[in-house]
Structure 1
Amino acid sequence: MDRIFRERMPVGQAKEKFLAAITPITRAEEISIQACPGRVLATHIIAPRNVPHFRRSAMDGYAMKATDTLGASPLNPVMLQLSDVVEEGTCARVGTGQPMPEDADAVMMIEDTMSMGDMIEIRAQLHPGKNVGNIGEDIHKNEILFNKGQLLRACDIGVLASLGIREARVYCKPLVAIIPVGDDLIPLSYTELPPAGKTLESNSLMIGLYVEQWGGIPRYHNIVPVDDAQIEQAIKANLDADLLVVSGGTSVGEKDLVPEVVASLGELLVHGVGLSPGKPTALGRVNNKPVVCMPGYPAAGLVALFVFGRPALRKVANAPDVPDVIVKAQLSSKITSREGYLSYARVILDGSIAHPLMTAGAGILSSIARSQGFVIIPEHVEGYEKASEVDVVLIE
């Protein structure tokens, strides 16, 4: 394979091509609703009963027959007898959510009444059904409550609990294999100062934490030396996973072998994208399992993970992609970018002001930690001037 990026695929095209090659998982499990927030339904949920399953008052006040209020007004009130049952000329005290008396068809708000011993002065006219919650008004028995593919939220779980549903069938969380590649890497368990030319392998932990945050289960592989046979062995050993993320070995140097190994085992869909930082990103598929090959430089790898890894994981999981959280800000200084690249410029937010930070440098992970978000500069734009209003995509 030629080790020069003769073609650089636009980010949108690369993402579309990669996602089109991903098959979502079909495995599902029945779990307690307490464990369901953030999970994706594998079946429709059908309402087992009506809500409410009885006629109920929607207000604090008095239940009565609507015909007894004809013509009632503050200047022409109607007097009704307070009673435990409702019939012509009587009313009964009710609270919000309480059952309606059998023959009552309306509720007068307490604000529109005046109590006079066991007589109630009615100062407004009602129509039948006013302030009454009818059977099935909220939810009808046998209606589809939530559709297959719904991402469950805490409020959805509350609805399930209110209906007596205690378990739900959801898709299993995807297993994501994380494979670090590099001769310069040493494990995090190393407690001494790393020798010159060696680096603690921290990308795997960062990737794994994001995998958990985005709904997957990370599995960590040992550091793999830069050797095509060992890289191949590591990928083959993890093909039981639903998604593979390889960190490092994706550029065009003599030791960047990962894309070649992916191509030999399956299909290399993309190698080299118009992304800054993150140009060496490679995307492929082996045994129908998607493989994200992200640069080993931390900042570049993180951008590639956000741009390609997150949507890939969400599709594998049958989950809708989570939209970015965006805030408006004004630049404190100019940001430059390379035309033809979708550029992620790191910024620090100070109220409504965005201060550019390390707009170049693919390996400076500390700049990610110090920043709150990215200003994403489109391929056709060469940068933004000082005082420009920009969208800042929050990292978290």
Structure 2
Amino acid sequence: MGRIFKERTSVDEALQLFLDSFSSLRSAEEVPLEVSAGRVLAESVISGRDVPHYRRAAMDGYAVRASDTPGASPANPVILQLSDWVEEGTTIWVHTGAFLPEGADAVVMVEDTVTAGNMVEIRAQVYPGRNVGQVGEDIKKGDLIFEAGHFLRPCDAAVLASLGMDRMKVFRKPVVAVIPTGDELISREKSGELPPPGMIIETNGLMATLYVKKWGGIPRCTGIIPDHPESIKEAIETNLDADMILLSGGTSVGKRDHAPGVVESLGKLLVHGIGVSPGKPAALGVIGKTPVVCLPGYPVAGLVALYFFVRSGIRKLGSIPALPEPVLRKRLAAKISSKIGYVNFIRVVFEGERVRPLMGAGAGVLSSVAKADGYVLVPENVEGYEEGQEVDVFLIE
């Protein structure tokens, strides 16, 4: 590679090139329902039973024959006798969800009754089926419950449990190797010591690892790799059994920036230099069937690359549907300036019903993300936004 970025690829084009370079895993595994939330079904689910499988009371009250209640009202109650079964002139107490006794076809709510000894005044007329849950009212045998590719939520697991299931076949989570590089990095194991000038504690690997886990992957973080092409090459080759590789650092065009060149020597470098700020030095490639993302060493630039490319890559590998992001519509409390030709990632904080851009928040100022409530994406063809203008605000994950 040259010492300058000769080309700058748009975010959308870079993402499409990247996603087109590899295939979804589509391999499956069985997991217990207790850990199924957040997983993706690998097969459709057809109900093998009715839910409920019996007629049940939908209210606390008295099970009756509806034909015994015509004209019943507070002024003209019908008197029924408490019994152990339901037939003409008798009734049984039932609670919500209880099996409805044979002979009964309705339930009178307790609020519409008065009990005196073993006699019950029915003060409301009911019709057949009133306050009764019928067989299969919730789910019928043979119903399609979920299609393959459905993203399981806790409430979905409860539905599956009601069908008598205890394990589900889901797509395997992609394994993502996270490889921090840089001669200036110090392991977090030594974080109690103040690093000498020019040295910093390695934190990008931790951030990438946690986001990989949050987005549905299985992170595998290596130790720190020095800024030597052979060391980086060896680290990549050792981790080619992973489903995706993330290289952190060494992506720019300086003398110690070797990551994109090493990727190109082992496979195909798809993109180096992307129209996003911060994050321009990011690179994307593929080695064999393994996608590779080279994350810039500046923390915020690395975060942007994680958001734009790694999250989408994990979703494709794991067949994870893209769920809608919460987006807030807010007015700006101050002007936003941006670079034409770049998608600009602007961190903002909430001020009442407005948002204010964080000032002095460079690509290397990671704390600016922790201070931010969300971010605004300014398109590459827009030269900023004016104070008072409405913008879409995405929440920081």
Q: Return the alpha-carbon distance in structure 2 between the equivalents of residues 94 and 179 of structure 1.
A: 63
Aligned to 1:113: 113
Deviations 1:158-212 (A, max 9, x none): 2333343222222232211011222332322345433332222211111111112
SS of residue matched to 1:355: strand
Matches of 1:35 and 1:91, distance apart in 2: 45
Q: CA deviation at 1:355?
A: 2.6
Amino acid corresponding to residue 8 of structure 1 in structure 2: R
Aligned equivalent of 1:171: 171
Whole-angstrom distance in 2 between the partners of 1:301 and 1:362: 9
Alignment-derived partner of residue 334 in structure 1? 335
1:240 and 2:270 matched: no
Deviation at 1:360, TM superposition (A): 4.9
Contact 2:53-2:136 at 8 Å conserved across structures: yes
Q: Which residue of 1 aligns with 2:181?
A: 181
Alignment check: 8 A CA contact 1:22 1:312 kept: no
Structure 1 partner of 2:63: 63
- Tell me the equivalent position of 1:54: 54
Counterpart position of 2:368: 367
Q: Residues 315 and 321 of structure 1 are in contact (CA less than 8 Å); yes or no, is this contact kept in structure 2?
A: no
Q: TM-score, normalised by structure 1?
A: 0.92
Secondary structure in structure 2 of the residue aligned to 1:335 = coil
TM-fit CA distance, 1:275: 0.8
Deviation string, structure 1 residues 319-340 (Cα, Å, up to 9, x no partner): 1234333334333221111122
Q: Distance in 2 between matches of 1:382 and 1:360?
A: 18
**Residues 46-73 of structure 1 deviation map (CA, whole Å, 9 limit, x = unaligned):** 4343211111011112222222233444
Is 1:5–2:20 an aligned residue pair?
no
Give yes or no for contact 1:297–1:363 (8 Å, CA) kept in 2: yes
1-structure distance, mates of 2:219, 2:333: 39
2:66/2:125 contact within 8 Å kept: yes
| Contact 2:51/2:162, CA 8 A, preserved across alignment | no
Distance 1:8 1:333 in 2: 30
Report the equivalent of 2:43. 43
1:312 matches 2:346 = no
Q: Percent identity?
A: 55
Listed one character per residue, the Cα deviations across residues 49-98 of structure 1 (whole Å, up to 9, x for unaligned) are 32111110111122222222334445554333332222223322211101
Q: Distance in 1 between matches of 2:297 and 2:113?
A: 73
2:92 aligned counterpart, secondary structure: strand
Question: TM-score of the superposition, structure 2-length normalised?
Answer: 0.91
Does structure 1 residue 275 correspond to structure 2 residue 272? no
Structure 2 residue runs without a partner (length 5+): none
Measure, in 2, the Cα distance between the counterparts of 1:74 and 1:92.
20
Note the C-alpha offset of 1:359: 5.8
1:265 matched to 2:303? no
| 2:349/2:355 contact within 8 Å kept | yes
Q: d(CA) in 2 for partners of 1:388 and 1:176?
A: 40
Aligned residue type for 1:286: I
CA distance in 2, matches of 1:371, 1:166: 41
Does the CA contact (< 8 Å) of 2:277 and 2:343 recur in 1? yes
Deviations 1:342-381 (A, max 9, x none): 1111122244332321465111112112222212212222
Cα deviations across residues 194-231 of structure 1 (Å, max 9, x unaligned)? 33322222111111111122222211223223333332
RMSD: 2.2
Q: Distance in 1 between matches of 2:163 and 2:146?
A: 13
Q: What is the letter of the counterpart of residue 374 of structure 2?
A: G
SS at structure 2 position matched to 1:383: coil
Contact 2:375 2:394 in 1 (8 A): yes
SS in structure 1 of the partner of residue 189 of structure 2: coil
What corresponds to 1:214 in structure 2? 215
| Preserved CA contact (<8 Å) 1:278 1:303 | yes
Query: Which AA in structure 2 matches 1:378?
Result: P
The size of the alignment, in residue pairs, is 396
Which stretch shows the higher mean deviation, 142-151 or 245-254?
142-151
Equivalent runs, 1:339-350 vs 2, <5 Å: 339-350=340-351
The question of 1:390 aligning with 2:391 is answered yes
Query: Which residue of structure 2 aligns with residue 301 of structure 1?
Result: 302
Instruction: State the 1:247 CA deviation.
Output: 0.9
For residue 291 of structure 2, give the secondary structure of its aligned residue in structure 1.
strand
Tell me if structure 2 keeps the 8 A contact 1:30–1:167.
yes
- 1:218 and 1:375 map into 2 onto residues whose CA distance is 28
Equivalent residue letter for 2:28: A
Instruction: Please report how far the alpha carbon of residue 145 of structure 1 lies from its aligned counterpart in structure 2 after TM superposition.
Output: 2.9
**Displacement of 1:120 after TM fit?**
3.1
Which moves more between the two structures, 6-15 or 241-250?
6-15
Q: In 1, distance between residues paired with 2:359 and 2:246? A: 26
